[in-house]
Amino acid sequence: MSQAIIAKRTDAEITALANAEDAARVYDSGWFAVAVDTIYTKTHGLGSNKLLITVFASENSNGSDCHKLYQSFHTSSSAYCGGCFIDDVQSNTLEVKVGENSPMGQNYYPNDDGHVWGNEVKYATRPTSGYYRVLARLL
């Protein structure tokens, strides 16, 4: 079964989330380029692995039309993995692992025409790259 939920945020709203708390307790990666089936190590420097982590995704480097990202997967005769998951969270680093199917969170069957949420088709073609922004808050 495919699982993905989208919550749209503007870049200004994401920045406000990052600045809402004491800056020493929040990590903001800023927007960085990502590609399918790739691992990115981020240095958050918060001194703990007890973090509340949120990832946003966009097709644009400025974060326009971004959405909150969830990992997405489907298994049948083969697996289709989209989005990312956060792994190996250490006291000062974490890994962002991008799915092999699409970094934007949706997973596609080989000839799929896109997915619909809220009566809106998102990503009718499968993006193979994009941009992520990771926010981590120290608990």
Q: How far apart are CA 39 and CA 109, in angstroms?
A: 23
pTM of the model: 0.75
Q: Are 81 and 104 in contact (CB under 8 A)?
A: no
Handedness of CA 106, 9, 23, 33 (dihedral sign): positive
Token look-up 């997973």 returns 107
Q: How far apart are CA 94 and CA 114, in angstroms?
A: 31
Domain spans in the chain, listed from the N-terminal domain onward? 8-138
For the segment(s) 8-138, the CATH number from 3.40.50.280, 3.40.190.150, 2.60.40.10, 3.40.50.620 is 2.60.40.10
pLDDT per residue rounded down to tens, the chain (139 residues): 333 444 566 777 767 766 665 667 899 999 999 998 899 999 999 999 999 999 999 889 999 888 888 766 555 555 567 778 899 999 999 999 988 777 876 654 444 555 555 666 655 566 788 999 999 999 9
Token look-up 């049948």 returns 76
